[in-house]
Every structure is written in structure tokens, then in C-alpha cells.
């Protein structure tokens, strides 16, 4: 079956611009996670959705970052007023529910010039 997909695969933007990153989870997975992976580091947790609601957004670095999952499937990570330090690979994962295996997408590489 289809895995987790993320679009775009690459995004280049200028400092100060707004970007949206999309994640399509595996069909039927109720849990969805966003992580950020900076160069030379492991992924860092950003936010976790159970269904439509954000169950844990403790990893969002500041209020420029926001994520939604309005119908409990596709999720969009939104970054306002991008900064060069936001450059990273943004990973999405989904799972059947809590305490089950997370399946990761290929990521979106964001470059802020």
C-alpha cells in the first residue's frame, strides 16, 4: 500500500516568506507526527495529532510555526516569516495510534535563503 507522502520534496524560499508543507499519512492512521531534522542531527519532535486535534505541540519552537489537520487525515505545517535557521528537513510520520510503529515519509527539505 501507499506510504506516507510529503509535498513538496524540496522548497526554497526567501527569509521572511510564508511556507506550507503537506503530509499525506497512511490511510486509516489516526496519529500523525511532525519532526524537524537539522543537518548532522537526529529528528526533533514538533507536534503530534490524534485525529483532528493537536495532542502535543510542545516541540513547536515558537509561534511562527503552526500545524493543522482539519479532517483527521492530511496535515499542513505552516511557517510564517521564515528565518534562515528554519532550514532543515521536515519529516512527517503516521501510526495506527498511540504506542504503535511510526511510519515516516521521505521529508521536505526546506531552504531559507
Partner 1 sequence: AQSVTQPDIHITVSEGASLELRCNYSYGATPYLFWYVQSPGQGLQLLLKYFSGDTLVQGIKGFEAEFKRSQSSFNLRKPSVHWSDAAEYFCAVGSYGNKLVFGAGTILRVKS
Min. distance of Cβ 81 from partner 1 in angstroms? 26
Min. distance of Cβ 26 from partner 1 in angstroms? 12
Site residues (CB under 8 A) for partner 1, limited to 19-48: 31, 33, 35, 40-45, 48
Q: How far is CA 92 from CA 15, 75, 82, 106, 113, in A?
A: 23, 9, 19, 8, 23
3-state SS, residue 86? helix
Q: Is the dihedral of CA 64, 47, 78, 82 positive or negative?
A: positive
Out of 8, 12, 14, 56, which residue is the one contacting partner 1 (CB under 8 A)?
A: 56
Note the residues at the interface with partner 1 (CB under 8 A).
Answer: 3-4, 31, 33, 35, 40-45, 48, 50, 55-56, 59, 91, 93, 95, 98-107
Amino acid at each position: 500500500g501507499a506510504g506516507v507522502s510529503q509535498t513538496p520534496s524540496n522548497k526554497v524560499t526567501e527569509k521572511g516568506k510564508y511556507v506550507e508543507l503537506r503530509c499525506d499519512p497512511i490511510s486509516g492512521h489516526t496519529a500523525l507526527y511532525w519532526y524537524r531534522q537539522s543537518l548532522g542531527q537526529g529528528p526533533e519532535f514538533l507536534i503530534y495529532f490524534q485525529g483532528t486535534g493537536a495532542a502535543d505541540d510542545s516541540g513547536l519552537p515558537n509561534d511562527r510555526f503552526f500545524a493543522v489537520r482539519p479532517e483527521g487525515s492530511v496535515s499542513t505545517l505552516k511557517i510564517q516569516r521564515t528565518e534562515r535557521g528554519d532550514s532543515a528537513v521536515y519529516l512527517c510520520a503516521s501510526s495506527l495510534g498511540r504506542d504503535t510503529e511510526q511510519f515516516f515519509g521521505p521529508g521536505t527539505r526546506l531552504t531559507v535563503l
